[in-house]
Amino acid sequence: DAGVTQSPTHLIKTRGQQVTLRCSPKSGHDTVSWYQQALGQEPQFIFQYYEEEERQRGNFPDRFSGHQFPNYSSELNVNALLLGDSALYLCASSFGVSGELFFGEGSRLTVL
């Protein structure tokens, strides 16, 4: 039973570029949440997707957007990258919006 898988594991971008990160939820899960974790900090909630809609959103600008597909997988898009967007981006899946969260290993983004 595959857990939460994220891709890519590492990537480097330059300021102003755009990035897309991908997440496949754990088998049987239908809800995906995204978190940003800066070095040495706790994870910060970005948003949650359920039934292909954004259900809740944290304090992140519109440069951060997402999508959920019919197979429950999800993408996180960040436009106009800033140096401060460098972080580990974590995807967590659950069964329903209140189910236990299972996290992937993250995608580490470096913005130069």
Partner 1 sequence: DAKTTQPTSMDCAEGRAANLPCNHSTISGNEYVYWYRQIHSQGPQYIIHGLKNNETNEMASLIITEDRKSSTLILPHATLRDTAVYYCIVRNTGGFKTIFGAGTRLFVKA
Residues at the interface with partner 1 (CB under 8 A): 4, 33, 35, 42-45, 48, 55-56, 58, 88, 90, 92, 94, 96-106
Structure tokens belonging to residue 7: 């891709």
Report the residue number, 8 or 16, with the smaller CB distance to partner 1. Answer: 8
Report the residue number, 33 or 68, with the smaller CB distance to partner 1. Answer: 33
Burial class (CB in 10 A: 0-12, 13-18, 19+), 11: middle
Residue 77 pairs with which residues in a beta bridge? 20, 65
As measured in angstroms, the least distance from the Cβ of 51 to partner 1 is 13
